[in-house]
Amino acid sequence: MSLSPAVGMKNGVSTNSTRRKSRAEMAAKVTVVLGAQWGDEGKGKVVDMLATDVDVVCRCQGGSNADHAVVVGDREYVFHLLPSGIINPKCKSVIGNGVVIHLPGLFEEIENNEAKGLTGWNDRLLISDRAHIVFDFHQQVDGLQEQEKGKNSIGTTKKGIGPAYASKVTRNGIRIVDLLGDFSLFSEKFQTLVAYYQRLFPELVVDVPAELKRYKVLAERVRPLACETVSFLHEALRQHKKILIEGANAGMLDIDLGTYPFVTSSNCSIGGVCTGLGIPPVSIGTVVGVVKAYTTRVGDGPFLTELTDDIGALLQSRGHEIGKTTFRSRRCGWLDIPLLKHTTLVNGYTQLCVTKLDILDVLPELKIAVAYRKNGKVIDYFPSSTVELAAVEVDYVTLPGWMTSTEDVRDFEKLPENAKNYIRKLEDLVEVPIRWIGVGKGRECIINVF
């Protein structure tokens, strides 16, 4: 082994000021898009916008509990497992090893979007053979677990995501690579996993022969798409390809750093990008945090700025705040800066995109939560427990609304002055530059701030 150029060492450290850079340092940097609140911020639209100029778009975690909508003209595509960049015919789409995949749901999703005009997907979709499989019995178990919890249920989507990740962590999960190998070994693993869950839930009924027959067919459907994606992505980085990472869910739903236990089952913050795709931290470049101009949440859990009055109902109605996965109404509330500061600390956003500003067009005044108080004192952190959150009081500032439509505005300077002030206030409080502003559903409804 040789060092180039050869120089002296001091305390075991090279004194060469022109040290050789590692391969990872010389490779391209990826752009990451993450939800900055409790999900449903409009990440799909942002990914679609950025994907027009990239070579690869990746999903790194989560499963079919996500729903990312992309509006192109009069067509609305809805993606649960597919990366939102799949409609770009010039780029590859990767479903990474950190994603849990319900194969019947994936092919149903493909067919639904084909009916809306999606074509050529099979030439540009790659699925990690390390990704774990969500089975129908995982979905049944999801519902049974929620029933067991009763009043303490967390409002899961019942898509089997939690049980599938639990199988992964207890090391009895089944991966795509298992399905594509010796089918007798797959069958044995499948039956063992079913038996495991039937011991936990005796009422669970699984038609094993029918499921194995079904998965023998699914194996052949997924075989042309599956590959070892870690090496593919590293080669793309080495070739300085433009890579875009699409996070599912959002920072406050992160299993470790969100409002536990009212969270999802994966790391949907920046750490999940590395583990879910097999890329090192040094490869991460721009990190875009997507922020809805107000706050929403699906399901149970703490929500300090929630509005249960007419304003909350107005936001829900104007914003069409109904989940495309669960069809549940989203709870709505004022923008929460302490929450955003928390996910900013965790994710290191370099830019923000603020979506749905137009939903606020009809409000005469707006509030922004600017601080949390505990026992009368301002705290500079986001509380870790729901008990502590319940004791928090919220400080607000009130800003005047603009009471005029922003839907047709495409230039920041042409926004109403009070709308600009709202954006500037958000930027000043979070201390991250706002790069884009969304004022409508379509990809054309985005204001490029700089």
Known binding-site residues for GTP equal 39-45, 330, 356-358, 438-440
Q: At what angle do helices 136-149 and 183-200 cross, to 10 degrees?
A: 10
Known binding-site residue numbers for Mg(2+)? 40
Q: Please name the residue that has the structure tokens 């829900």.
A: 316
Q: Is 168 a catalytic residue?
A: yes
Distances (CA, A) of 313 to 306, 309, 321, 334, 383: 11, 7, 10, 12, 28
Known binding-site residue numbers for IMP? 40-43, 157, 171, 249, 264, 328
Which residue among the candidates 48, 67, 68, 132 is catalytic per the annotation? 68
Q: Which residues, other chains included, contact 251 with Cβ-Cβ below 8 Å and sequence gap of 6+?
A: 34, 35, 36, 37, 257, 258, 268, 269, 289, 342, 343, 346, 347
Query: Does residue 314 contact residue 328 with C-beta atoms inside 8 Å?
Result: no
Known binding-site residue numbers for substrate? 324-330
Known binding-site residue numbers? 39-45, 157, 171, 249, 264, 324-330, 356-358, 438-440
| DSSP per position, 267-324 | --STHHHHHHHT--GGGEEEEEEEEESSEEE-SSS--TTB--SHHHHHHHHHTT-B-T
Query: Does residue 243 contact residue 236 with C-beta atoms inside 8 Å?
Result: yes
Distances (CA, A) of 51 to 41, 85, 160, 342: 17, 5, 29, 27
**What is the distance between the alpha carbons of residues 450 and 443, in angstroms, rounded to a whole number?**
17
Cα-based angle 211, 212, 213 (whole degrees, multiple of 5): 90
Tokens of 56: 């690869």
**What is the distance between the alpha carbons of residues 81 and 95, in angstroms, rounded to a whole number?**
8
Which residue among the candidates 168, 234, 341, 441 is catalytic per the annotation? 168
Q: Residue 232: what are its φ and ψ, rounded to 5°?
A: -60, -45
Neighbours of 104 (CB within 10 A): 15
Burial zone of 5 (CB within 10 Å; 0-12 exposed, 13-18 middle, 19+ buried): exposed
| DSSP per position, 55-91 | SEEEE-SB-TT--EEEEETTEEEEESSS-GGGG-TTS
Query: Does residue 245 contact residue 273 with C-beta atoms inside 8 Å?
Result: yes
Q: Is 80 a catalytic residue?
A: no
Q: Is 336 a catalytic residue?
A: no
Residues with catalytic annotation?
A: 40, 68, 168
